[in-house]
Each structure stands twice: as structure tokens, then as C-alpha cells.
Amino acid sequence: MLPAAMKASSPALRSRLNPSIKWLIGIGAACLVGVLGLKLVFDNLQDELNARSVNERARLFIGEEIVRGITGIEKDIYLLAATTNPAAVRRVNRSIDIQLQKLRHDLTVLKEGGTVRREVLLNIEGRDEMVREATYVADTEAGRHVMEVIEIEPLLDEIDEKTVGLVALLMKGWEFQENRDSAGFLALHDEIDVFLKHLPPYFARINENASRLFFDSSARLSELETRLKLQRERLKLVELGVMAMVILLAGLGGIGFVQRIDLANRQLRDAIEEMRDAKEEAERASRAKSEFVSRMSHELRTPLNAIIGFADLLSAEPLSASHQNFVKLINDSGNHLMELINAVLDHAKIEAGGLTLEKIPFDFQAAIDAVKAIVNERASVKGLEFTAQISPQLPRYVVGDPTRLRQVLINLLVNAVKFTERGSVELRIAPDEGQIHFSVRDTGIGMDEKALGRLFKPFSQADDSVTRKYGGTGLGLMISKELIEAMGGRIDVESAPGVGTVFWFWLPLQAADVLDPGSIESGRESGKLTSLVPGRVLIVDDNRVNLQLASAMLERLGLAHELADNGVTALARIAETDFALVLMDMEMPEMDGITATQQLRAREAAQGLGHLPVIAMTANALQEDRERCFAAGMDGYLAKPVSLAALQAELRRLFGNARPAVAVHAAPPSEKAGLIYDRAAALAMMGDEELLDEVAGMFVADVPGYLAEIDAALAAGDKDKLARAAHTVKGLFATFVSPAGQSVALQLEQDARAGNLAGCGELAAAVRTHAEALAGALAKK
């Protein structure tokens, strides 16, 4: 329900936000295109106008050259009139010709385009002349007339005629002079005067026409510059306008965007609200479901226990073979149903998200040993070989959830045993790139591709015939997969029909930082403790063996002590007598150690009493247990099995100016895995063979009671009672350094505490096996 709501709302929000962003981008892009477009248009216009201005200046330059040429020719013609011999005439004529050629060239450039040069003489030292030139691009627009060319060109032709005419007159004059014909010479002189009189209007006309070019070009240039100026002003205006438009659009866009964001936020809030409601609803539904499943499981389990119990009783009665068979069927069906209920409960818990994984340091080796003990028994019953290859490189202590790890391993291994008729089951555990790699291999019936595809799905086994033949809930693998994934790992499988199956899984279990209990110094200075502990010690424990053990240890240390078997009694004793120290167990009937300590501290505060040191002495060896103890106001902590040395060190720490606190953990289980218990280690811990024998006798006498307590709690489905009973037995196994028994009892306690009753039957049976074996071994001694 929750994911669906989230899925439904997210695209909707995105789709509401997207148009805003698209609009903003669109407006921005449009403004950019507008600005760039106008800028380019105006830049191009300006460039064109600039080019035209440059061209017009070149035209003016050509005009200047034409005027200079005309003036030069006019000057030369008058110079020609003053010549006195043919050589001078030729020289002036050449000058006129050169200037005429240049004039014609310049006019052609005006018409067709090209470059016009002017060589200017200089009187600068080192530089005699300079060249000015201008390149003109002719106006090629169709039909335009180049008026200067049209008007001036024919006049240039006349220059030739004028020059020829003048030269002819001059030659005639020189002839008259040579012939001494004064009358002819005078008449010719009049003719020359008239000729020269006609020159000024002629050159005036050419100059006028050339000047018209100036006027025209200047007018054009002026127009171009005006247009250029206008364009610049327009560009500026456009830029300002565009800027204003951009600001306006950006502002509007921004307002729109903010409004949309606001809307989106509101919708998001609504959606979140909706999702929260949905989540709460889902959680309520999930809780209701879990409660229902839990209640139903309990309700189902109670009559089921009766069915199984009475079936057990009935099976002990003398019955006919067929009735025996019926009873066996009832028993088997009941057990299967119980297993199914427990699995359904687990699955429901995981599905409802109610699974809380522990992240605690635990003894990885011990957990594996416990699993091995269970599987080994099963395998040997079926005549299968069970091997476990545990890499020595694995850490002893890791951080994780030991209960769930054992659950997964037992499920896979028990499955492997179940589906293997002959051959072997193999467990391999090794480190793998920062993770721990587990593999469970069997030589069983195996599965084909189709069956593999159905694995890890609820109520799916390879096929129905498998279920009929091998039984099982069909939930185990799915729960295992869910647990592995919840622990941050992954699982894979490979199988071949008739060959076998191998399951792999990886878990990111990090090594735990655990101090070595061996670092605690031994108790040679015991005698001195009497002076450190100023008074009597109260030992509080509900277990007779533990009381006896602690009592013996205090005697060895020379400390006077009294006993109490639960929290209520202890508080009463403390009220009556002055004690120097309390050694407090955690798990006790009536009142547990935590509560007793809290009440003690409350009483001290209320009555202004002095602080009575309390040391926890418990088989709850986890870090969180330690923290609970100190949080309740305890001053020290000893994990069972408690060695004399550890007790001594803790007393020294508490009462003397001893070394800083050292974390004391349960003594490591014996490496001698084949032994039922490690007598030497137990003796080292107690320090006294007589005490060991005495305590062992107590254990042998009491153990049936403890086991009965476990069975009763299990049958009633009372997890708290089961956990407490397992806890007591665990402490006893620890006392005699019986690691296999201790591991199994620890697992039973943890499973019971976690409400994971599915595998508790198996564990209880294993505890019984180990306890009976230990009792047997102790009795023999």
C-alpha cells in the first residue's frame, strides 16, 4: 500500500514540475535566441553599413584624384601655351597623356571597381614618396548609371582635341615668327586668346561634374553614417528592450516557477501526508495481521501441544499395530503443523517488517558448533556422512545476529539431510573478500531448472511429490532467503537432478573486537582481598549450583558471605544486614537482578544510604546485557562461567586502586571439541577439585529438573520461561566448560527470547542430549 502510494505520487509530482522547468528553459532559450538573433542582425547591418562607408570614402578618394588630374591637365595646357619649342611641347604633352590615362583608369574604377593609387612626393629624410590607395567596389546593381563617368568621359576626349588644336596654333605661331610675319602672328595671337578664353568654362564644367561626385558621395556618406548611428541607437534600444524583456520574462518565469514549486510542495506535502496515512494504515494492518497471526499461532499451538502430548502418552500405551500407526500419524501431523505454524509466524513477522535483527558480538565458532551438533545427529541417524570445513582464518567473534544465522544454517543443512538418501552433506565456511561465504552441499535428489525457478517462493518445493515424500512447510527456504537478505547478504543455488544441490550464501559479518579473558591476572594475591572488601558479600542466584560455586570461590578468597535466591529476598537481606558487596545474577524468578539493583539504588537515594557495590554475575554474555547492567546501576560485570581469577580481578578493580576495568567475557569453549566437558579448565576456574566434585554432584542431581522445566516451557509455548530455563542450563554448561552444550543452550535461550520457537524443539532435544551426556561424564568421575 505504501510503495504503491509513493509510486503513484512521484511521477505525478515529476509531471507537475516538468512543465515548469520546460517553460523556464523555453523562455530562457527564446530570450537567448532573440538576443542573439537581434545582435547578429544588427551586427550584420552595421558591418554592411561600415563596408559601404569605407567604399564611399574610396569613391571620394577617386573623386579627389579626378579633380587633381583635371587641375593638373588644365595647368599643363596653360603651360603648353607658354612653350617656345617642340621639345617643351612634347614634354608637356607626355605629362598630359599620363594624367589623362590615370583619369580614364580612375573613371573605369568608378564604373567597374578596382584600386586607385596616388603617389605623393615627400620631403622627409629617408623617404621621398608615399603611396595612398583606395579600393572601390562598384555598385553592381542593375540599371544604375555612373553619372560621373557618363558626364566626364566625353570631356576627356575633348582634352586631346584641345591639346592638338593648341599645339597646331603654337606651331603656326612659331612659323610666323620664323617667317617674321608680324601681321599673321598678331592675328594668330588673337586666335590663341580666343582659344584660351574657351578653356576655363570647359574645365569649370569638368570640375563641376567631378564636384557633383563629391556632393553625391558626401551625401551618401552622410546618409550612411546617419543610418549607422541610427542602427547603433536602435541596437542599444533593442538591447535595452531585450534586457528588460529578459528581466520581465525571467521575473514572470520565476514567479511562475515559484508558484509551481509552491504548488508542487503543497502536493508533495499532501502526498507525504497521504503516504504517511497509508503507511500508518499499513502498519496498523500489519500489526493487526501480526497480532492475529501471533494470537492464532498461540491459539493453535495450545491445543496442538495437547494433541501432540496426548499422542505421545497414547503411543506409550499398549495399542494395536494399526492404532499405533494412527497415533504416529497424529504425532507426525501435529509436529508438522507446529513446524508450519512457527514458520508462518516467522514469515509474517518478516513480511510485516517486524523482524528486528541483532547486531551483537557473538562467538561465531560456538554458533557453528551448535549447528554442527544438531545436524550431525540427524545425519548419523540417516547414515549420512556430515563434514564441516571451517576455515581457520575466520574470526572467533563476529558482529551479527547469531540466532538468525543458526536458523538459516540449520534450515539449509536439515534440508540437505532431508533430501539426501545416501552420500554426504558438507558445510564449508570461509572468508571471502570481507564477507563470510557459506556453502551447504549435498548428494541428494537435486532439482531441475523448473524446480529451481520455484525455489525461495512460499509453499513451493521442487514438486508435490517431494512434499508428500519428505514433508516440510515449503516456507523454510523463503524465510532463509529473507533472513540472509535482511542481514545484507545474498543466496544462490545450483543443482542437478540425481547429483545433488549446493546452496551458497554470503554474509557481511565483521570481526568483533573482543578482549582476551586470559589477560586477567591469576588470584595469587587472594589473601589481600580480605582487607580490600570491608564486610560480607551477598550472593544472589536462583541456581543452587551457581550459589554453591560462588560461595566456594568467596571462601577461597576468604570473604564472608550470605545467599539469596532471587531479587526480593536479596533486597530484604540488604535491608536487614550491612553488606560490602552483592554478586547479582540477572535472570531470576520473583525479581530479576536488574530490577533488584534498580530498587536498591532507588532506596539508597531515598534514604540517603551509602552506595552498595553490585557486580553482575550472569550467563548473559552479550554487550547489551553488560550495558543493561550498568544502566541499572551495577558497578561490575562478570560473565558466567566465572573464574576465580576473574572474580578476584573484578573485586580488586572495584575495591582497590587496581588497573582499569577489563572486559571479561565468557571463557572460550575448549578447543578439544571431542570432549563432553573440559575438566582441567573447569578445575582451573574453580581452583578446587573438591568444589568441582561437589558442584558436579549438584548438577547431576538437578539437571533432570532443569530439562523438565525446558520441556514444560516449550510445550506451553512460554518463551520467557523457556529462555530463563535455557539460560540456567547454559550457565551450568559454562561452569563445567562444556562448549557444545553451552552453545546449544545459548541458541535455545536466544531463539526463545526472540520468539523464534520454530527450531526450539530441535534445540531443546540437543540441550537434553548434551546435558545428559555431561551428567553422565560428571557422574563417572
Partner 1 sequence: MSFVVLRRIVLLVFALFMSLNATAQSAKTEMLLYCGITMVRPMTEIAKLFEQRENVKIAIAQGGSEDLYQSAKKSGVGDWYLPGEPSYRDRHVAEGLFGEQVTVGHNQMALMVLKGNPKQVKPNPRELLRKDLVSIIGNAESGSVGQEAKHILDRLGIYPQVIRTAAFLAPDSRNLVNAMKKGEADVTMNWRATAFFPDNVARLDVVDLDPKVAKPQALLLIQLKSTQQPELAKRFMALAASDEGQAIFRKHGFLDNKGGGNK
C-beta of residue 301 within 8 angstroms of C-beta of residue 335: no
Q: What binding mask, one character per residue, do residues 463-492 give for partner 1 by CB under 8 A, x or -?
A: ------------------------------
Count of residues making up the chain: 781
Nearest Cα neighbor of 748 from 724, 773, 775, 732 is 724
151 binds partner 1 (CB under 8 A): yes
119, 125, 190, 433: which one binds partner 1 (CB under 8 A) = 190
- Rounded-to-integer distance, Cα 732 and Cα 446, Å: 42
- Which one of the spans 191-199, 368-376, 467-475, 745-753 is the region binding partner 1 (CB under 8 A)? 191-199
127, 197, 450, 524: which one binds partner 1 (CB under 8 A) = 197
Helix ranges (DSSP H) in 82-139: 86-112
Grid cell 549435498 in the structure block, residue: 442
21, 36, 319, 701: which one binds partner 1 (CB under 8 A) = 36
Shorter beta-carbon distance to partner 1: residue 216 or 351: 216
| Residue 778 neighbours by CB under 8 Å, 6+ apart | 677, 696, 697, 699, 700, 736
- Rounded-to-integer distance, Cα 669 and Cα 692, Å: 18
121 binds partner 1 (CB under 8 A): no
What per-residue string of b and e applies to 702-724 under the rule 16 or more CB within 10 Å gives b?
bbeebbebbbebbbebebebbbb
C-beta of residue 364 within 8 angstroms of C-beta of residue 397: yes
Shorter beta-carbon distance to partner 1: residue 200 or 254: 200
CB of 222 to partner 1, least distance (A): 19
3 binds partner 1 (CB under 8 A): no
C-beta of residue 591 within 8 angstroms of C-beta of residue 568: yes
CB of 189 to partner 1, least distance (A): 12
157 binds partner 1 (CB under 8 A): yes
Shorter beta-carbon distance to partner 1: residue 1 or 40: 40
CB of 41 to partner 1, least distance (A): 5
112, 160, 208, 262: which one binds partner 1 (CB under 8 A) = 208
Other beta carbons within 10 Å of 728: 26
209 binds partner 1 (CB under 8 A): yes
Shorter beta-carbon distance to partner 1: residue 36 or 602: 36
CB of 59 to partner 1, least distance (A): 16
- Which one of the spans 54-62, 145-153, 319-327, 336-344 is the region binding partner 1 (CB under 8 A)? 145-153
150 binds partner 1 (CB under 8 A): yes
Shorter beta-carbon distance to partner 1: residue 196 or 512: 196
Nearest Cα neighbor of 744 from 347, 376, 360 is 376
147 binds partner 1 (CB under 8 A): yes
15, 87, 131, 144: which one binds partner 1 (CB under 8 A) = 144
149 binds partner 1 (CB under 8 A): yes
- Which one of the spans 83-91, 140-148, 601-609, 752-760 is the region binding partner 1 (CB under 8 A)? 140-148
- β 424-432/435-442 pair status: antiparallel
Shorter beta-carbon distance to partner 1: residue 132 or 189: 189
121, 183, 194, 321: which one binds partner 1 (CB under 8 A) = 194
CB of 141 to partner 1, least distance (A): 6
Other beta carbons within 10 Å of 727: 25
2, 12, 79, 155: which one binds partner 1 (CB under 8 A) = 155
238 binds partner 1 (CB under 8 A): no
Shorter beta-carbon distance to partner 1: residue 29 or 168: 29
235 binds partner 1 (CB under 8 A): no
Other beta carbons within 10 Å of 754: 20
C-beta of residue 618 within 8 angstroms of C-beta of residue 639: yes
- Rounded-to-integer distance, Cα 235 and Cα 242, Å: 10
- Which one of the spans 30-38, 261-269, 593-601, 620-628 is the region binding partner 1 (CB under 8 A)? 30-38
Q: List the beta strands (DSSP E) in 364-489.
A: 385-390, 397-400, 424-432, 435-442
What per-residue string of b and e applies to 527-564 under the rule 16 or more CB within 10 Å gives b?
eebeebbeebbbbbbbbbbbbbbbbbbbebbebebebb
CB of 174 to partner 1, least distance (A): 24
C-alpha of 664 from chain center? 38
C-alpha of 733 from chain center? 46
Count of alpha carbons within 13 Å of 612, Cβ hemisphere only? Answer: 31
240 binds partner 1 (CB under 8 A): no
Shorter beta-carbon distance to partner 1: residue 238 or 408: 238
- Could you list the residues that contact partner 1 (CB under 8 A)? 29, 32-33, 36-37, 40-41, 44, 141-145, 147, 149-151, 153-155, 157-158, 190, 193-194, 197-198, 200-202, 204-205, 208-209
